[in-house]
Structure 1
Amino acid sequence: MKILILGGTAEARELANRLVAMGHDVTTSLAGRTQDPILPEGDIRMGKFGGIPGLAAYLRAARMERIVDATHPYAGLISINAVAAAQQTGIPLVRYMRPAWEQRMGADWITVETAAEAAAALPPNADVLLTTGHTGLEQFLERDDCQFVVRTIETPEIDMPRHASLLQTRPPYDVESEMRLMEREGITHLVTKNSGGAQTAAKLEAAQRLGVKVIMIARPAYGPALEVATIDDAISALGLGG
């Protein structure tokens, strides 16, 4: 079976590897934002499709039989476009969505809908660990009454102002190292997206232990799709068995 995976996550890579091992013809599409990504088995397509028309045209031309959206929960437009392109072409769409993090008893969270709301929720003189990626970074850095440690994998396109420092690291992280970081930097607030998954969850445990307040940006809604939360369920939802 010919399958297009919209990738860029560890789960997408695992799914591609398993499907290729099962004998399927798999192409993984990557946006091309990450330098030196770890590539999955199968074919690779880099770059944008050109909106809904471009994605639909690609699906038809490549004779794809299934689509899997296994992008990051905050990937944005590509997930919206996948729904529309699947509807236009009649190709079944499966969305892999890792389970969201849930607030634990005693954790100090507030949940907001957008980066702008998260930036506005910060009190003056906050010392912030910012782990929201590149999107909306400018809205936070306008808050020159706060101090920021901006943690990213890739180098942002904007320069850091004097009230912000850049920390480029790659997950996974553990609780002890996250606590050391927060204590060293005097962090009072953690701003993050509800990405889910184990690789970056340690910051939430560290924040709770240290009494750091968490500002959580909620997930967007992407429209109808057959949604699953495990790789095994994704394979079953594709109608491929185990």
Structure 2
Amino acid sequence: MSRTALITGATSGIGKATAEAFANSGINLILCGRRQDRLTELAAILGKQVKTTTLLFDVRDSAEVINAVASLPEAFQDIDILVNNAGNAHGMSPIQEGDFADWDAMMDGNVKGLLYVSKAVIAGMIQRGKGHIVNLSSVAGKQTYANGAVYCASKKAVEAISEGMRLDLTQHGIKVTNIAPGAVETEFSLVRFKGDESRAAKVYEGFDALRAEDIADTILYAVKAPAHVTIADVTIYAAAQAAPTTVYRK
């Protein structure tokens, strides 16, 4: 019987690549995001392979999250896999120059949003006695770097939540996987630098960065592991990257 996965931030980057990988493996999809046009377009493509539906909501709004998940058609209500991919980085400055709005966006999206979506899905998993939650952390959650204190803090929180989920949920037959990617060339830096394409491009110059598909492959590997195996924590660097801010460029 086919499994069903709910993916947040499914309209671009790692979320989109994961949706495509899941569809290729016959996993039905609940695609979530804030851009209806992109959701509709992606659903039309992947819907040719698997059963697909979409949910439009902002993970930072707890009421939107709860109402959206509760509105799912009956065929999609039994969620087997949750991929908490939605998140963001805003700004890169010393702590004393940080912007309140940037801090709120990161903590609300990366931490509270993950909690809100998980809360909406976990009860059903417990009731069915099975499930798999994949949380997207970052190497920034492993090692703090200068000018990124709040982003790093938000991803360290994801690491702690993943550990706590595993402690609380393993007894209910629910697996928890934490994925910590390094430098992945997506829209990430463009968002962080507020649309500055030149500055964003420099992040990936001179080395072969990770691609969204690389992370999607790892997520797929984790969710396809045998029933007796949990892939608990994975850190993924580009070959040229030794630490969050240590990259050997040509």
For the aligned pair, the TM-score class normalised by the smaller chain equals 0.3 to 0.5
Structure with the greater alpha carbon radius of gyration: 1
> TM-score by structure 2 length?
0.43
> TM-score by structure 1 length?
0.44
Compare the two structures and name the one with the higher strand fraction: 1
Compare the two structures and name the one with the higher helix fraction: 2
